[in-house]
Amino acid sequence: MKEKELFKILSHNTAETESAGALLAVSVKNNDFVALYGDLGAGKTAFVRGFASVAAPSAEVGSPSYGFVNEYEGTSYKICHFDMYRVESDDDLYSVGFYDYDNCVILAEWCEKTPQILPNKYYKVKIDIIDDAARMIYVSLVSK
């Protein structure tokens, strides 16, 4: 597996985390996959909100925790924002129709729980909590 770092950002607040998401949004195209990693409260949804501010400016982004997926119609492509936190097996993914999603950019939170869904090429976003406000955000392109 090859991993090429695209950028890393030290974020001091939610607005800076959103800006990091917006920065990635200008690089992706339809059918790309963005895998998000980070502890609870790290800022994964804030990152997606920033991403959507570029790709789907009118979207009201919220966590898909209870609905599993939120879809946002974008200007160039649709965003499918998944939360994998409660996924226990492939059966869970099949039962909610995950494998039927296409023709969109997939942003999936908690990919550490579902490595089997990762395509051969994807963007990896890892958010590390430094303290109550600061986050280190690493963005890379991974190819298997």
Domain count, the chain: 1
Which CATH number covers residue 94?
A: 3.40.50.300
Q: Is the pLDDT of residue 67 over 90?
A: no
- List pLDDT tens digits, range 83-119: 998 888 889 899 888 999 999 999 999 999 999 999 9
pTM attached to this predicted model: 0.93
Q: Which domain holds residue 52?
A: 2-143
Residue 66: pLDDT over 70: no
More confident residue, 104 or 1: 104
pLDDT for 123: 98
- DSSP of 49-112: HHHHHHHSTT------TTTSEEEEE-SSSEEEEEE-TT--SHHHHHHTTGGG--SSEEEEE-GG
| Rounded-to-integer distance, Cα 88 and Cα 135, Å | 28
pLDDT of residue 58: 79
DSSP strand pairing (2-11 vs 135-143): antiparallel
Q: What is the pLDDT of residues 11-63, one digit of tens each?
A: 999 999 999 999 999 999 999 999 999 999 999 999 999 999 998 887 888 77
pLDDT for 138: 98
Mean pLDDT of 62-72: 79
